Amino acid sequence: MGKFVITKRANGEFQFNLKAGNGQVILASEGYTTKAACENGVESVRKNAQDDARFERLTSKNDKFYFLLKATNGQSIGSSEMYESAASRDNGIESVKKNAPDAEVDDQSAA
């Protein structure tokens, strides 16, 4: 089962990573100024990950594949790692869809 891991960056911002059951990061968030905003981002991922239209499938300048998960307002909620193939990227999207709804939250920001 997946989990959202909330951490605090060196600059004081909060971020979350959605990890698959094997511990691999499948979605990384932007930085948030408050923990509450970061927690709202987690909830937004839970909600939007079920809608395939919210995933923007992209190719980088060096021909790597990645995706963004976007909220209903079009703002990016999280991004994936770079993948070698479009099929691997699409597997990453399916993993987010599968793991996000029931993922527990592991708040490590106070550690």
Per-residue pLDDT of 44-66, as tens digits, reads: 999 999 999 999 999 999 999 99
Neighbours of 94 (CB within 10 A): 13
Contacts of 45 (CB under 8 A, 6+ apart): 4, 18, 27, 29, 69, 77, 78, 96, 100
- Fold that domain 3-107 belongs to in CATH: PH-domain like (2.30.29)
Amino acid at 79: S
Domain positions in the chain are 3-107
The token pair at 14 is 């909060």
Closest CA to 41 of 11, 9, 17, 67: 17
The token pair at 34 is 């408050």
Confidence of residue 111 (pLDDT cuts 50, 70, 90): low
How far is Cα of residue 49 from the mean position of the Cα atoms in its chain?
9
Q: Taking the complete model, does pTM exceed 0.85, yes or no?
A: yes
Confidence of residue 35 (pLDDT cuts 50, 70, 90): very high
Closest CA to 69 of 61, 59, 57, 81: 57
Confidence of residue 110 (pLDDT cuts 50, 70, 90): confident
CA dihedral 26, 7, 37, 91 (to 10 degrees): 0
In tens, the pLDDT along 64-91 reads 999 999 999 999 999 999 999 999 999 9
